[in-house]
């Protein structure tokens, strides 16, 4: 009787929210999961026989190389990569600091690329792999004060498109998920606000005071992270799954609307919706 070899999953940003939910569901579904976070304390109580918590800083190439080497040494392969780690800067373009701009892209874009680059050779060797990039519906539509986050997620969409061509010869599938607003720790811990933008004397204070509370409320009352976890499992198991898909109420509302309307009409609808 042949023993079924478990597929090996690497998840970034698994300390909370979608990453944590995905780690649990995939482990329950027969995968061996390496659940990573820059802060290993966030992985407490996650470990079991099929989940291995491990510290990973996606802004540090040495950290990435060490983690990938450790996984390959233990299991000789990495079958599935879920690029989930990310955060959002909330700032006007006029006010953002150079450090905020660079850090936003260093995590959401360059960090994702670093991990992907490190994993590809092992997938290519096995002639198999699934890479799932957790993007955002804001990777297809813009919102004021989210310019840096928007731009980083637009970049994720472009990377996904290009990698699909680049890796298809090696039987490596690449997908992106565009979530709407989800009830995770994102609004509480993963939104970084620029203080100048939110200062009462800022030229953008009125916009910030109108928009930010609505966005935070929608995130805190958003969909359940397990919806994303179930979608990830579905993508892994379906070799014909589309390149990208939306999940969550806001994504399913805005993305189709964006496709149907002109730029000007869509802008008008967004302004009406958020009263800005």
How far apart CA 156 and CA 255 sit, in angstroms, is 16
**Lowest mean pLDDT, pick from 117-131, 159-173, 176-190:** 176-190
Q: What is the CATH number of domain 8-274?
A: 3.40.50.720
> For residue range 40-93, what is the model confidence (pLDDT) as tens digits?
889 988 889 899 999 999 999 999 999 999 999 999 999 999 999 999 999 999
225 HSE (CA, 13 A, CB side): 20
Distance of CA 94 to CAs 91, 105, 138, 209, 229, Å?
A: 8, 17, 20, 17, 37
Would you name the residues annotated as active-site residues?
Answer: 149
CA angle (76, 86, 34) in 5-degree steps: 25
Q: Is-contact 231 237, C-beta < 8 A?
A: no
Maximal CA-CA distance, the chain: 72
pTM (2 decimals)?
Answer: 0.95
Q: Is-contact 23 51, C-beta < 8 A?
A: yes
- Per-residue confidence (pLDDT) for residue 188, from 0 to 100: 62
The average pLDDT across 108-115 equals: 98
Residue 152 has pLDDT above 60, yes or no: yes
């Amino acid at each position: 009787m042949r023993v079924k070899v478990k597929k090996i999953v690497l998840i970034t940003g698994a300390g909370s929210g979608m990453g944590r939910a995905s780690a649990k569901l995939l482990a329950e579904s027969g995968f061996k999961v390496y659940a990573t976070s820059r802060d290993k304390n966030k992985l407490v109580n996650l470990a079991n026989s099929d989940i291995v918590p491990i510290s990973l800083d996606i802004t540090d190439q040495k950290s990435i190389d060490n983690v990938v080497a450790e996984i390959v040494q233990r299991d000789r392969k990495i079958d599935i990569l879920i690029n989930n780690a990310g955060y959002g800067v909330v700032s006007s373009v006029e006010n953002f600091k150079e450090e905020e701009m660079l850090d936003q892209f260093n995590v959401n874009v360059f960090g994702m690329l670093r991990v992907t680059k490190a994993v590809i050779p092992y997938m290519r060797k096995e002639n198999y792999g699934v890479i799932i990039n957790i993007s955002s519906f804001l990777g297809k539509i813009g919102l004021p004060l989210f310019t840096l986050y928007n731009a980083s997620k637009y970049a994720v969409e472009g990377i996904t498109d290009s990698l699909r061509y680049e890796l298809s010869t090696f039987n490596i599938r690449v997908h992106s998920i565009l979530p709407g607003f989800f009830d995770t720790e994102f609004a509480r811990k993963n939104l970084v606000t620029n203080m100048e933008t939110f200062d009462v004397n800022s030229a953008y204070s009125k916009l910030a005071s109108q928009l930010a509370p609505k966005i935070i409320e929608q995130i805190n009352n958003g969909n359940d992270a397990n919806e994303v976890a179930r979608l990830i499992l579905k993508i892994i198991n379906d070799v014909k799954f589309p390149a990208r898909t939306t999940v969550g109420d806001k994504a399913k509302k805005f993305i189709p609307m964006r496709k149907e309307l002109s730029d000007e009409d869509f802008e008008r609808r967004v302004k009406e919706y958020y009263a800005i």
